[in-house]
Amino acid sequence: MKLATYRDGSRDGQLVVVSRDLALAHYASGIATRLQQVLDDWNFLSPQLEDLAATLHGGKARHAFAFDPARCMAPLPRAYQWALGPGAAAGTPCGTGSHLPWPTQRASDDFLGPQDDVLLPGATTPPVLQAGFAVVTGDLPLGATPAQALERVRLVLLAHVWSLPGGVQPAGAFAPLAVTPDELGEAWREGRVLLDVRTRREAGATGPAGDVSPAHFGQPSPDFAALLATLSRVRSVRAGSIIGPCAEPTGPHPTTAPAIDPASGPGARAWHDGDIAHSEATGPDGLSVFGALAQRVALAGEPATRA
């Protein structure tokens, strides 16, 4: 199933179920109002949401409405924790190996939605963008094995991770849809997401005239089973924790375009005030899996889409 969170004026928004083709949605308020509620009581509530999703897919949901990504917050607008996988060499999935570095913790109290600006007032250095996959966990016990960890992966996300030199960390952003691993089919295998993430820059007013740069800034999927097992080595992990994507890699990104110098980050030189960073992952059927991330880069001034 595919889940999203609509803005309703609250911090945690309103949970909705979305059809596979992203055409229709249905409020889940008869089952749960917030995604964290579902994560806290997964075994009881998720089957009810799956039934609603099946009804929606079958065209029999009486109160379905057109899905609007512009109304979406991040699927989980705030989380108990967000940890990035350790950086990996180019072409190597992070999380590979038996003795992994500790994941990097990032702020998780206020995530951005898929069309919210990344706001950097007065920034003089272009931001670095990383686009990749993350997972949302259920409760994970202390000392969980990779196999046990994999059983506790509840949802998969598509994320934008922004950063500036000096450790400045803007809020992370997520595509509108959180999807269950079974929704990915063969693209979910042994704890990895076997999909490409493609990011392009849509030039703003201060960028080169008419410049639209397709590129592949997506990273290889982390080995989420290994990363979660590492995270649970010395503490339990609570439902609603997010892990991934990888931290900045230690070598050039594998791309369909020429390799990009990681010292300045994927596309760091390309981002200008007003540019739109557009990221998406499509399945074998050509349909968008998570919906699109389309963020305006606001290096100065006020956000256009976020209060």
Region for 269 from its dihedrals, namely left if φ exceeds 0, alpha if ψ lies in -120 to 50, beta otherwise: alpha
Instruction: Judge whether residue 307 has pLDDT over 80.
Output: no
Confidence at residue 207, expressed as pLDDT on a 0 to 100 scale: 58
Q: What token pair was written down for 204?
A: 């703003």
Task: Go through 79-90 and write b for each residue having 16 or more CB atoms within 10 A of its CB, e for each that does not.
Answer: bbbbbbbbbbee
Q: Is the pLDDT of residue 23 over 90?
A: yes
Nearest CA-CA partner of 175 in 190, 152, 193: 193
Distance CA 303, CA 159 (A): 20
Q: Give the per-residue pLDDT at 300.
A: 67
- In this prediction, residues 143-164 reach a mean pLDDT of 93
* 191-235 residue pLDDT tens: 999 998 988 888 775 655 444 444 545 566 888 999 999 889 888
Residue holding tokens 């201060």?
Answer: 206
**Could you tell me the domains of the chain?**
1-73 (no CATH), 75-298 (3.90.850.10)
Is residue 169 very low, low, confident or very high in pLDDT (cuts 50, 70, 90)? confident
The reported pLDDT for the residue numbered 280 is 95
pLDDT given for residue 96 in this prediction = 58
pLDDT at 304 over 50: yes
Taking residues 237-250, what's their average pLDDT? 81
* pLDDT tier for residue 301 given thresholds of 50, 70 and 90: low
Which of these, 71, 72, 300, 68, lies nearest to 204 by C-alpha position?
300
Mean pLDDT of 58-84: 94
In the predicted structure, residue 147 carries a pLDDT above the cut 90? yes
Question: Minimal CA–CA distance to 177: which of 42, 295, 64, 74?
Answer: 74
User: In which band, very low, low, confident or very high, does the pLDDT at 163 lie, cut at 50, 70 and 90?
Assistant: confident
